[in-house]
Amino acid sequence: MAILLAKNAENPVKGLSPRDATITMFIRRQDLLEELRTSRIHPDYPAFQAIRFPGNITFTGSLTEALDDAKYCVFAVPSRYAAATLDLIAPHFEKTCKIISLVKGFHFDRNGTSFYRISELIQTKLGLPPVNVATLGGPTIYTEILANFAGPQPVYRPTNAVVSSISHDTAREFQERYFSPHVLRTYVSLDVIAAEVCGALKNVYAIAAGAADNYMDVGKGVNFKASLITRAAYEMGYFARALGASQESVYGLAGVGDLIATCSAGRNWRAGGALIAGADVDAVERTVLPNVLEGFQTLRVMKAFLGLMRKRNPELQLELPILEAIYEFVFEGLKFDKGVDRIIDRPMKMERRSDPYLRLVKN
């Protein structure tokens, strides 16, 4: 099994390491590669510093070595680096290898005409059939998973995840590998679209949840936060359905489950709080939280994509009021309370109206 990581990868291995497998992890940064080979401890993440990588993992800076004879590949890079990383690995990738994506985001190409979910990007760049591609979703905040393995006295933090693929056989193969007794239970889904759309958008709504917790004080404003998460789930489902997903899948672990977790903890949640505390976007991305923030990147991509869709069809009725208010809050100086007012004061309507069927033709 190969695990591919770009620099600043958010979730290096998700705490998942099949005990009977030979694993090769590709590391781009030479300093990090040398440190991992020497100490077998990841120095950049506090949660990892109590974890020593097991002996069945080999670290390499060579893509040829990482992918040589690999039957399975774990793709774990920030979404903004996904296309470039796939271009790098394409010459070394065997078409018989199956790949699972841990990436939570979208890709919008540089000429501004094509929008991809990450599994679509993998298929395009590597020339793979869709049946060889899967994605992992669900409430899998890596610090919680790692707590089960950290130090002499691990903390019990079990969780559930979902492996999604259009191929039931591929999903089952990864399900069997993404399982750890007492720690991680995995389910199978055939709805890749829902898993990827929800996995990306939940980071956006987490920014608003973190801002709300900071603005109203954590533990207060409970009514609003519950309303935010519920309506965000509806909005998330509305967009996912437009891309061909099932609403039922949105209410599963990869949708609402991941949304609840991410709106309670994690980088994107902390980023919302940092913005309320007075930090600007540049400070949050470079200083306050010096890691890739998928929520910010997803907002940028969604803004560009929605602009393209509305340019192609000026009559398009695609309503994502929470997401668009978050974009203005993050990038355009909209005050948090004014954004909330805008959403609260929208025209009255049914909670669960029968939305006209909307299907987006992306590319």
**CA 63 to each of CA 5, 127, 187, 351: distance values in angstroms, whole numbers, following the listed order:** 11, 17, 31, 51
Catalytic residue check, 202: yes
Catalytic entry in 125, 202, 303, 349: 202
Among 110, 111, 83, 112, which Cα is nearest to 101's? 83
**CA 251 to each of CA 147, 174, 232: distance values in angstroms, whole numbers, following the listed order:** 27, 22, 12
Give the angle 301-303-305 at the CA atoms, nearest 5°: 65
Q: Which two tokens stand for residue 140?
A: 């899998």
Residue bearing tokens 């950049």: 44
Residues 6+ away with beta carbon under 8 Å from 167? 130, 131, 132, 134
Beta carbons of 359 and 313 less than 8 angstroms apart: no
C-beta pairs of 146-155 under 8 Å, 24+ apart in sequence:
146/15, 146/47, 146/48, 146/50, 146/51, 147/47, 148/15, 148/180, 148/182, 148/183, 149/15, 149/51, 150/47, 150/50, 150/51, 151/50
Q: Which two tokens stand for residue 210?
A: 């973190």
* Cα dihedral sign, 142-288-206-265: positive
* Torsion angle of the four alpha carbons 112, 118, 123, 125, in this order, in degrees rounded to the nearest 10: 50
Residue bearing tokens 């005409």: 113
Residues tagged active-site? 202
